[in-house]
Amino acid sequence: QSVLTQPPSASGTPGQRVTISCSGSSSNIGNNAVSWYLQLPGAAPKLLIYSNTQRPSGVPDRFSGSKSGTSASLAISGLQSEDETDYYCAAWDDSLNGLVFGGGTKLTVL
Amino acid sequence: EVQLVQSGAEVKKPGESLQISCKASGYSFSTYFIAWVRQMPGKGLQWIGIIYPSDSDTRYSPSFQGQVTISADKSISTAFLQWSGLGSSDSAIYYCARLYARKLDYWGQGTLVTVSS
């Protein structure tokens, strides 16, 4: 049981815009920044979004993040076949004094 | 270039001890936290704990407290994750990552640990 709640799956067609939600509480998302990670099959996770909305260099601007209250979202516009993989949200939790993760969302490009 | 290079895959029997490593390069190892994250087969990411190499300040997730030991050797820019007695439930991929401003900005390639009799 993950501390942050993500839908287990999401899907879209090429060129479409999809969003993935991440729900938490006041001790994590409500009080701290959210980061998002992408994990290709057989590879280590990679930072995709940090500080709710910021993209590391090299991440396409098709990827965007937002946060409101105790929830956050990752949006992917202009969906491409290579976007088909797993996505995780994370946030610092003040009660646990550590990073907590969502259970992950498997994105399928139809 | 920041790099975290982890030790290779391990196959162990239940009850055996194990230490895996994570060697950092390309930045000042002592002044950034190193985190350890577990990923069980087909499952999501779980926070194990962190260490600040400069003073070895270590913090564990309650779920892993007492189950593993995190350490670091500044002289060789390497962090370690250790078990004194493995169980089958420890079979997983273990990642180290650099923690900066409460985000994991660089990750190691992962170490697969298989515990089987």
- Is the Cβ of A38 closer than 8 Å to some Cβ of chain B? no
pLDDT confidence of residue A1: 81
One-letter amino acid at A37 equals Y
Give one DSSP letter per residue of A29-44, joined into a string.
TTTS-EEEEEE-TTS-
Strand-pair category, A105-109 with A9-12: parallel
pLDDT tens string, chain A, 110 residues long: the values are: 889 999 999 999 999 999 999 999 999 999 999 999 999 999 999 999 999 999 999 999 999 999 999 999 999 999 999 999 999 999 999 999 999 999 999 999 99
- Phi-psi group of A51: left, alpha or beta (phi > 0 → left; psi -120 to 50 → alpha; rest → beta): left
Q: Closest-CA residue in chain A for B43?
A: A103
Judge: A44–B107 Cβ closer than 8 Å, yes or no.
yes
Taken in order B97, A57, A37, A92, the sign of the CA dihedral is positive
Taken in order B59, B62, B63, B67, the sign of the CA dihedral is positive
Å between A49 CA and nearest CA of chain B: 9
Q: What is the largest CA-CA distance in chain B?
A: 41
Say which residues have a Cβ less than 8 Å from residue A63's Cβ, sequence separation at least 6.
Answer: A36, A48, A49, A55, A74, A75, A76
pLDDT at B110 over 90: yes
Q: What is the pLDDT of residues A84-101, one digit of tens each?
A: 999 999 999 999 999 999
Judge: B109–A45 Cβ closer than 8 Å, yes or no.
no
Å between B103 CA and nearest CA of chain A: 6
